[in-house]
């Protein structure tokens, strides 16, 4: 099939590349001429495992091309996907300015048989409005489908090529078959192609992300409670996770979720509910718990030093909001760094791929270290914020020699307290007993 992908961000580039990899003729369209040229040169604007090699391979084979011209890319396409950003507005709702700009640019070149597919995450009712707008601009019937994405950063190619399901909201059955055929190589009887109404597909995206966000906020709140009653969230998680009705996924306690999807989509669904005169009490609580959780690690560090962080050096391992990505949007590490700097601490930070993104924010206010052991040199404490695999195999002997004070604040529970204690470190995790020399003298210190 001939496919045009409008938008070369995370979703558009991954989707277009994966479609090209199974033999489709794909053109990725973007108005940013510099970005398009870099893509032609094999420079990928995002860090996603395996994506660069796949882009280069398919571009060289002529199956994947890049353009800034609607006139060249839209006519004759079997399907045109819209994958532009819908950032959170000041009121919490999605900002659709980019989507409407695409509709206006797309309409003059849209041929009669082309299917328009919206992959962008949009409020309920938006796809129907897209259809109305395109029909007003073209003067004829236009088939529009909602095809929400469910890609995890760091595992996007696997998620696309081995999806749990493909969700399509559409009213024209023949057009639905176009999308079924396009996705067929990735599906089997255990991973279905689900056809539903436009509004149901739009809601599916929001409800999915909000459910996962709820699980994260729930386990984090339970972790905080465990600390207060001398329970261990790691043990509690084992006790509940083996219940098949609950499971283990998204029930790992930590310092809160971030990224481009969960925070934005929770707040967007809150805005949708409020616009329909409903009070979304649970969703507001999910968002509030997550905001509070991002402060937990700083409070533990501050209490450890009796509220006096001035002049202390804190090493921060992990800046991206999760492993296997350089995305720092709403990253808990940024909340921690801001609080540490405000308290007068010195920050030495390390991350395998996100250093430059964070350097662009802080400049020389933070010392950025390519090597994590460089970051802990002379540090009074180490804060672990992102659970990169490299950090899980830390050499404690080396840390003890380099650090001015052996204290680890483990925001992702990548170590066990007993393990760290046996290595001679003070230790504070999330939802587990804090083990410090100070604690034995002052039980309320951490």
Q: Which residues are catalytic?
A: 261
In whole angstroms, give the CA distance from residue 106 to residue 76.
13
| Residue linked to tokens 């959170």 | 88
Closest CA relative to residue 205, chosen from 143, 329, 119 = 119
Between the alpha carbon of residue 424 and those of residues 227, 313, 384, 406, the distances in Å are 22, 19, 17, 7
Between the alpha carbon of residue 261 and those of residues 2, 213, 369, 384, the distances in Å are 29, 10, 28, 23
| Residue linked to tokens 């409070």 | 299
What the block records as the tokens of 60 is 């060289």
> Where does residue 273 fall: left (phi above 0), alpha (psi -120 to 50 degrees), or beta otherwise?
alpha
What the block records as the tokens of 208 is 């999915």
In whole angstroms, give the CA distance from residue 401 to residue 203.
53
> Looking at the chain, how many residues does it have?
446
Cβ atoms of 201 and 168 closer than 8 Å: yes
| Residue linked to tokens 């560090």 | 301
Q: Write out the H or E segment, with its range, that includes residue 146.
A: strand 144-146
- Dihedral sign (CA 220, 222, 227, 230): negative
3-state secondary structure of 66: strand
What the block records as the tokens of 271 is 């805005």
């Amino acid at each position: 099939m001939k496919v045009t992908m409008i938008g070369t961000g995370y979703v558009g580039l991954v989707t277009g590349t994966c479609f090209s990899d199974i033999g489709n003729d794909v053109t990725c369209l973007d108005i940013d001429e510099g970005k398009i040229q870099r893509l032609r040169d094999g420079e990928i604007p995002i860090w996603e495992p395996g994506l660069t090699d796949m882009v280069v391979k398919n571009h060289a084979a002529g199956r994947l091309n890049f353009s800034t011209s609607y006139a060249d890319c839209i006519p004759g396409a079997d399907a045109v996907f819209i994958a532009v950003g819908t950032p959170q507005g000041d009121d919490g709702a999605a900002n659709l300015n980019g989507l409407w700009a695409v509709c206006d640019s797309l309409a003059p070149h849209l041929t009669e048989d082309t299917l328009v597919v919206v992959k962008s995450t949009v409020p309920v009712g938006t796809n129907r409005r897209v259809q109305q707008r395109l029909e007003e601009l073209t003067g004829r019937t236009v088939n529009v489908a909602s095809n929400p994405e469910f890609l995890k950063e760091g595992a996007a190619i696997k998620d696309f090529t081995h999806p749990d399901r493909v969700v399509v909201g559409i009213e024209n059955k023949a057009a639905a078959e176009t999308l079924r055929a396009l996705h067929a190589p990735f599906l089997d009887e255990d991973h279905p192609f689900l056809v539903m109404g436009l509004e149901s597909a739009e809601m599916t995206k929001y409800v999915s992300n909000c459910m996962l966000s709820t699980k994260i906020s729930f386990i984090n709140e339970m972790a905080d409670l465990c600390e207060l009653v001398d329970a261990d969230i790691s043990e509690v998680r084992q006790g509940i996770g083996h219940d098949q009705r609950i499971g283990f996924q998204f029930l790992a306690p930590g310092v809160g979720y971030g990224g481009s999807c969960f925070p934005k989509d929770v707040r967007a669904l809150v805005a949708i509910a409020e616009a329909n005169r409903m009070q979304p009490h649970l969703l507001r609580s999910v968002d509030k718990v997550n905001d509070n959780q991002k402060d937990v690690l700083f409070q533990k560090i501050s209490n450890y030093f009796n509220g006096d962080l001035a002049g202390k050096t804190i090493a921060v391992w992990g800046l991206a909001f999760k492993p296997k990505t350089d995305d720092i949007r709403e990253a808990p590490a940024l909340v921690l760094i801001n609080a540490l700097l405000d308290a007068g601490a010195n920050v030495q930070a390390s991350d395998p791929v996100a250093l430059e993104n964070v350097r662009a924010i802080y400049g020389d206010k933070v010392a950025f270290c390519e090597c994590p052991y460089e970051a802990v040199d002379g540090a009074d404490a180490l804060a672990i914020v992102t659970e990169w695999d490299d950090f899980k195999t830390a050499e404690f002997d080396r840390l003890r020699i380099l650090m001015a004070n052996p204290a680890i604040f483990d925001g992702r529970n990548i170590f066990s307290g007993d393990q760290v204690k046996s290595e001679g470190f003070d230790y504070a995790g999330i939802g587990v007993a804090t083990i410090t020399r100070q604690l034995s003298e002052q039980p309320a210190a951490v």
